[in-house]
Amino acid sequence: MRRGAHLHFITSPDPPQGAPSGDFHDSTRGNRSLPTPRALATGAHLRQNGAVSADIDALDAEFSTLSPRRAVARALERFGEDLVISFSGAEDVLLVHYAAESGLPFRVLSLDTGRLHPETLRFLAAVEERYQLRVEVAFPQASAVEDLVRAKGLFSFYRDGHGECCQIRKVEPLRRHLAPRRAWITGQRRDQSPGTRSTLRPAEHDPVFLGKDGPLIKLSPLWSTTSAEVWDTIRALDIPHNPLHARGMISIGCEPCTRPILPGQHEREGRWWWEEGTKKECGLHTGGAPGPE
Ligand code: SF4
């Protein structure tokens, strides 16, 4: 098994920003100034550099022709240690499988919000066992969680929306862990949310997060894959999956904000069901952070 290859990334401490990192030294790093909060909120940081835009257009054109399996391998070839695969504890395990198949070293990042189902945590451990890797788990800042709970209680999101809690438990820790990277892979698909993901591209600048060189590249190899195709592949390859799917939970997040859906309902209707469909993102994939995801 490629245990050593996988652990190469996991056990190597992250270099300080701007410092070279062994075999993955990138001569393009420098002291580029990061965008202001206003530029970040308006997306101006993505438009100000024509070369960067041209690069992302070329990347998008290339990745739009690749199968999900090939797209994962190509991303690992191109970005190496500067890339992280996001794993949400759901069917995006397929991306981890493709990465393992590639034979290339890779790193996997997941979030433990403190409100996950125990089944999701056990599933994460099962994935580590199956693929002989250690998932990099990001946790929220304890003081921020304590302040929120002290001020508003444990279930404030039912009263005033999930934005604030998601910002503390998801967006901030992910921002911290993505900052040293140049690109990340997500399991997003267009068919996951007609309200928020219908314009998803296979490669784009992340509307929320910055990497070490400025705009972070977001790659979504499953962008045009349907839910049925993902599940057909998971079953055919006999890949471990979250047992909550068998209980009618299709889109799986935190325990208080996820519920089973009925036949005919869209998968996203099981998330934040007390809110409008257009707000069913947690802030990880929408511009203008902070705000509802
Ligand atoms: S999904 Fe719910 S519990 Fe989890 S971070 Fe968002 S609001 Fe909080």
For the ranges 68-72, 80-84, 159-163, 191-195, the lowest mean pLDDT is seen at 191-195
pTM for the structure as a whole: 0.78
Q: Give me ligand 1 centre to Cα 273, in Å.
A: 12
List, for residues 88-123, the tens digit of each pLDDT value.
988 899 999 999 999 999 999 999 999 999 999 999
Task: Report which of residues 158 and 34 the model is more confident about.
Answer: 158
Which protein residue has the closest C-alpha to ligand 1 atom 8?
165
Average pLDDT, the chain: 81
Q: Choose which residue among 88, 110, 111, 115 to substitute to test ligand 1 binding: the one with the highest number of ligand atoms within 8 A of its C-beta.
A: 115
List, for residues 155-170, the tens digit of each pLDDT value.
999 999 999 999 999 9
The candidate with the shortest Cα–Cα distance to 131, out of 183, 84, 80, 94, is 94
d(CA 21, CA 34): 20
Which residues are paired to 203 by β-bridges?
Answer: 219
Nearest atom within ligand 1 for CA of residue 115? 3
Q: Give me ligand 1 centre to Cα 254, in Å.
A: 6
State residue 101 phi and psi, 5-degree precision. Answer: -60, -30
Residue 18 has pLDDT above 60, yes or no: no
List, for residues 237-252, the tens digit of each pLDDT value.
999 999 999 888 888 9
SS3 labels along 58-110: HHHHHHCCCCHHHHHHHHHHHHHHHEEEECCCCCCHHHHHHHHHHCCCCCEEE
Nearest atom within ligand 1 for CA of residue 164? 7
Q: Give me ligand 1 centre to Cα 261, in Å.
A: 18
Cα 180 to Cα 142, 174, 184, 192, 211, distances in angstroms: 22, 11, 11, 28, 6
126 contacts: CB under 8 Å, gap ≥ 6? 240
**Average pLDDT rounded to a whole number, residues 171-193:** 94
**Average pLDDT rounded to a whole number, residues 163-191:** 96
For the ranges 7-16, 52-61, 74-83, 131-140, the lowest mean pLDDT is seen at 7-16
Q: Give me ligand 1 centre to Cα 37, in Å.
A: 24
Q: State whether the Cα torsion 24-28-33-36 is positive or negative.
A: negative
Which protein residue has the closest C-alpha to ligand 1 atom 7?
162
pLDDT grade for 200, boundaries at 50, 70 and 90: very high
The β-bridge relationship of strands 136-138 and 183-185 is: unpaired
DSSP-assigned letter for residue 280: -
Give the residue numbers marked as catalytic: 282
Task: Report which of residues 89 and 60 the model is more confident about.
Answer: 60
pLDDT grade for 282, boundaries at 50, 70 and 90: low
Contact residues of ligand 1, CB 6 A cut-off: 113, 115, 157, 162, 165-166, 169-170, 253-254, 256-257, 282
**Average pLDDT rounded to a whole number, residues 213-228:** 94
Q: Report the CATH fold assignment for 37-279.
A: Rossmann fold (3.40.50)
Q: Give me ligand 1 centre to Cα 162, in Å.
A: 6
Nearest atom within ligand 1 for CA of residue 258? 1
Task: Report which of residues 269 and 207 the model is more confident about.
Answer: 207
Cα 223 to Cα 36, 133, 146, distances in angstroms: 30, 25, 36
Which protein residue has the closest C-alpha to ligand 1 atom 2?
257
pLDDT of 191:
87
For the ranges 18-22, 46-50, 53-57, 148-152, the lowest mean pLDDT is seen at 18-22
State residue 266 phi and psi, 5-degree precision. Answer: -75, 145
